[in-house]
Chains A and B, each alone.
Chain A
Amino acid sequence: MFFEHYNYWIFVILLMIGLYTVMSRSNLIKKMIGLSLFQTAVFLFYITLGKIEGGTAPILMEGEDVLYSNPLPHVLILTAIVVGVATTALGLALIVRIKETFGTIEEDDILRMEDEQK
């Protein structure tokens, strides 16, 4: 059961580790790491979807009847990787600005400072 579809299991485990990190950590950088892990797990999922056992890269060869992997999920995930990079970059940029204005990157401290500002 596990070894037959181990890619999918790893996807699920990574996804949960990522989500747990996002929820449990107070440090914003660690939150971003969790978020990246969460997104990366989905990349693995899509790549696994397209893979066919014994299939090669999808390059058209003349005259031969070759088995090749489905390229579409791979192309899709390329887009998602770009989105992931953009999200991480934007998140880190926000963290830099937060550090500059609040002087800390601990969520608990920031929330306390926000409460005091009221």
Chain B
Amino acid sequence: MNALFSQAPILAIVIPLMGAPISALFRGAVLPWAIATMLSAASFWFSIDLLVHVNTVGPISYELGGWEPPWGIEYVVDPLSAFVMMVISGISTGVLLYARESILKEVSTDRLGMFFAAYLLALAGMMGITITGDAFNIFVFLEITSLSSYVLISMGERTDRRALFAAFQYLVMGTIGATFILIGVGLLYAMTGTLNIADIASKFDAIAHTTPVRAAVGFLIVGVAIKLAMFPFHIWLPNGYTYAPSIITAFFAGTATKVSVYLMIRFIYTMFGEDFSFGEIPLTSMLMTLGVIAFLSMSVVAIFQDNLKRLLAYSSVAQLGYMTVGIALASEMGLIASITHVFNHAIVKTGLFLTVGAIFYMVGSTYIKDLAGIGQRMPITSFAFVLGGLGLIGVPLTPGFVSKWYLVQAALERGDMVGYGLTIAMLISSLFAVIYVWRVVEVMYFRPAPEGAECKEAPLSMMIPCWIFVIAIFYFGIETSVNIGFAEAAASFLMGGAK
């Protein structure tokens, strides 16, 4: 282990964190973007390093400032956190590669320094939530992420003034969610006298029956559920995703809610332990019910949207329902499905939002009625959208199929009526997905383009990252050893590590 690598856990966070004020100092269209891209790529590189190390050597515990846990803050890199970090920084880097031309059209040039500063802060916050082993630290990083994401969403005001109110709505919901988490952490501290997650977990069983702890569990679950946009707390997500600048939608679709899924898994499996979460309190039936309602109802709602970005946003809430169900199944197979779906949905949805961004760049609208004949006007972009849509539906050879396959297996593993019901519900929801993707494809390919519409593709700097994501969709759909392999390692670590 060389000197640089021994500091990798902190570097993956500090590089984007320190990059933010640097980026804010620069003016112009290129420099802030270049800084953000390079730093995000560096963070990605460290994350891959950590992921490989964790899966070959073992988990890493990094003591901040040399203070021994549980007194000092501890960064824990285990198979799950390393995997999620890799997803976050990877998506962020991919989106930034695409960002340069796209953002020039949507945010005024003199604000770009600040814009990318907020972007880097959001990235640093999300990486921090994932890596930290300290319960209060989670809240701090959560607020760093949230505050910068309110700013980023409101930056869409130049194209649509509704972005401002969407950001405000998200601010209210996000603050309530984060404050709930704060109350939960406070109650746990009152009962255990520690903030270190591993330390809380080791003391949890002895106090699990007390009222404050039950209240703490309730506050933490609801708080994370708001941040996760779990049905019925999803109200902020469609607005936020619809009016944010294209690259921000793509970035958040792949990362923000995924971090909350990670937190949910971390709280339920590591902190509370599955015996308590699924035995003592009825989390399985609660989360499963909400998850099923989420993917059924939100898929139906998605069918009736007239704005492409809003359609994809509702589909995101539905997909988060699958992840919730995977967690609620309380089995290793269910966890594998959930964790794999975090990765799979991140690349599929980000890829789709990037192609939508390219369409918006050329057409200036994301309303489905304005997309007539896009298939002839922008054939390469439209084809990328169709391939991404296949991934969203879960057609074989795409990652969407892989995670649904695992989820169905996990459901059937239960062997009871609930499992069969779940399988049928998932099939129905997939059919709804076929409908909403087809609705868009139909308009794109089979409606004549309006008179005088020019045939032109988006710039190459946008098309190449789009296609990187599309190729990644098929690569990880066929060669599943990466996503499934790491997800299996993470799931077995969680189940084995649980007391």
Are A and B physically bound partners?
yes
Q: Which residues of B contact A22 (CB under 8 A)?
A: 172, 176
Total CB contacts across the A-B interface at under 8 A: 74
**Is the beta-carbon distance between B165 and A117 smaller than 8 angstroms?**
no
Known contacts A101-B157, A117-B162; A28/B168 CB under 8 A: yes
Cβ of B491 within 8 Å of any chain A Cβ, yes or no, is no
A58 to chain B, nearest CB (A): 15
A86 within 8 A of partner (CB): yes
Within 8 A of B (CB), among A63-106: 72-73, 76, 79-80, 83, 86-87, 90-91, 94-95, 97-98, 101-102
Known: A22-B176, A94-B150, A101-B161. A80 touches B168 (CB 8 A): no
Query: For the complex, what is the distance from the CA of A72 to the CA of B190, rounded to whole Å?
Result: 11
| Category for how many chain B residues contact A | 20 to 34
A97 to B164, CA, bound (A): 7
Report yes or no: B186 in contact with A46, Cβ–Cβ below 8 A: yes
Per-residue CB proximity of B170-189 to A under 8 Å, as 1/0? 01100110110011001001
B190 touches A49 (CB 8 A): yes
With known contacts A38-B179, A49-B189, A90–B147 Cβ distance under 8 A: yes
Residue B132 interfacial (CB < 8 Å): no
Known A101-B161, A110-B165; contact A86-B171, beta-carbon cutoff 8 A: no
Q: Which residues of B contact A97 (CB under 8 A)?
A: 154, 157, 164
Check B162 against A76 for contact (C-beta < 8 Å): no
Question: Taking the complex as formed, is B151 at the interface, i.e. its CB lies under 8 A from any CB of chain A?
Answer: yes
Contact status A45-B183, CB under 8 Å: yes
CB B424 to nearest CB in A, in angstroms, measures 35
Residues B161 and A102 in contact, CB atoms below 8 Å apart? yes
Q: Is B259 an interface residue (CB 8 A)?
A: no
Question: B136: which of A35, A76, A87, A90 is its contact (CB, 8 Å)?
Answer: A76
Q: Which residue of B lies closest to A79 (CB)?
A: B140
- A42→B167 contact, CB < 8 A: no
**Which of B161-215 touch A at CB < 8 Å?**
161-162, 164-165, 167-168, 171-172, 175-176, 178-179, 182-183, 186, 189-190
B332 at the interface (CB under 8 A from A): no
Q: Are B147 and A87 within 8 A (Cβ)?
A: yes
| Residues from chain B with Cβ under 8 Å of A46 in the complex | 186
Inter-chain contact B164/A42, CB cutoff 8 Å: no
Interface residues of B in 127-162 (CB under 8 A from A): 136, 139-140, 143, 147, 150-151, 154, 157, 161-162
CA distance A114 to B242 in the complex (A): 13
Query: Please, which residue of chain A has its CB at the minimum distance from the CB of B170?
Result: A94
Contact present for A80 and B161 (CB under 8 Å)? no
CA A76 – CA B183 in complex, angstroms?
12
Cβ of A96 to closest chain B Cβ, rounded Å: 10
| Complex CA distance for A30 and B325, rounded to whole angstroms | 37
In the assembled complex, the Cα of A110 lies from the Cα of B167 at a distance in Å of 13
In the assembled complex, the Cα of A35 lies from the Cα of B189 at a distance in Å of 24
Give Cα A87–Cα B151 distance, bound, in whole angstroms. 11
User: Is B186 a contact of A31 with CB atoms below 8 Å?
Assistant: no
B151 engages A38 (CB within 8 Å): no
Cβ contact within 8 Å between A91 and B165: no
Q: Which of B143, B164, B176, B186 contacts A83 (CB 8 A)?
A: B143
Q: Which residues of A contact B164 (CB under 8 A)?
A: 94, 97-98, 101-102
A contact residues around B171 at 8 Å (CB): 87, 90-91, 94
Smallest CB separation, A90 vs chain B (Å)? 6
Please tell me which one of the listed residues A35, A42, A49, A101 contacts residue B172 in the complex, with CB atoms under 8 A apart.
Answer: A35
A94-B167 contact in complex given A73-B189, A79-B140, A101-B161, C-beta closer than 8 Å: yes
Asked if A49 meets B186 with Cβ closer than 8 Å, knowing A90-B151, A94-B150, A117-B162, the reply is yes
A98 in contact with B165 given A49-B189, A90-B171 (CB within 8 Å):
yes
For residue B465, give the distance in angstroms from its CB to the closest CB of chain A: 30
Q: Min CB distance, B58 to chain A, in Å?
A: 31
CB-nearest residue of chain A relative to B239?
A114
Complex CA distance for A101 and B164, rounded to whole angstroms:
9
Compute how far the CA of A38 lies from the CA of B183 in the bound complex, rounded to whole angstroms. 11
Q: Is the CB of B168 within 8 A of A19?
A: no
Which 4 pairs between the two chains have the least Cβ-Cβ distance?
A: A101-B161, A83-B143, A94-B168, A98-B164
Which A residues fall within an 8 A CB radius of B?
A: 19, 22, 28, 31, 35, 38-39, 42, 45-46, 49, 72-73, 76, 79-80, 83, 86-87, 90-91, 94-95, 97-98, 101-102, 110-111, 114, 117-118
B interface, CB within 8 angstroms of A: 136, 139-140, 143, 147, 150-151, 154, 157, 161-162, 164-165, 167-168, 171-172, 175-176, 178-179, 182-183, 186, 189-190, 306
- What are 7 residue pairs bridging A and B, where the CB atoms are less than 8 Å apart in the complex? A31-B172, A39-B179, A49-B189, A79-B136, A86-B143, A87-B175, A98-B165
| New A-B pairs, 12, CB < 8 Å, besides A42-B179, A49-B189 | A38-B175, A45-B183, A80-B182, A83-B147, A87-B143, A91-B168, A94-B154, A98-B164, A98-B165, A98-B168, A101-B164, A102-B165
